Amino acid sequence: MDNSYQVSGVGYRFTVNQAKYQQLDFNRKGLELCQVNFEIKGIKREGSELTLQIERPKGCAGIYELVWDGIWQESSPRRMQLYLTGMFTGCVGGTGTELDTVQIDLAKAVLSAPKDLFTIYIREHCSFRDFNCEGNCEVSI
């Protein structure tokens, strides 16, 4: 049974797909998917609102994708693991970086979201940096 789906918002796509999650997991830092270097600079969660601050090269256009396998890890509180990857259509030459703010409404993105403040474990696909957000959190990097 395939329970895959996607929810789109401004600057992002939230994808629930076990096969895609496994592909990202097995090919972490794969050059074919990591053509633009970007990194999380901040994570904030208040209730069902998740905000990511992401630094990327100036002049690069595209969207970010959060990929979840749809599996809740049973812990206290329960936990979901997400991969953050980017889909950039191109970069116009330039120096420096820009900061993107991406706001995800978890109530819309996670169709079967529990009522408790579950933990979100975010992995940058194009690096080996991982971040843990337990309940309401604010992480600055």
- Which range is least confidently modeled, 2-6, 43-47, 81-85? 2-6
- Which range is least confidently modeled, 26-30, 33-37, 111-115, 120-124? 111-115
Q: What is the DSSP string of 4-65?
A: -EEEEETTEEEEE-HHHHHHHHHTTT-TTT--S--EEEEEEEETTEEEEEEEEETTEEEEEE
> What are 53's two structure tokens?
């601050």
Statement: the pTM of the whole predicted model exceeds 0.75: yes
Residue 104: pLDDT over 80: yes
Q: Does domain 5-140 have CATH number 1.10.10?
A: no
Unique residue bearing structure tokens 């329960």: 78
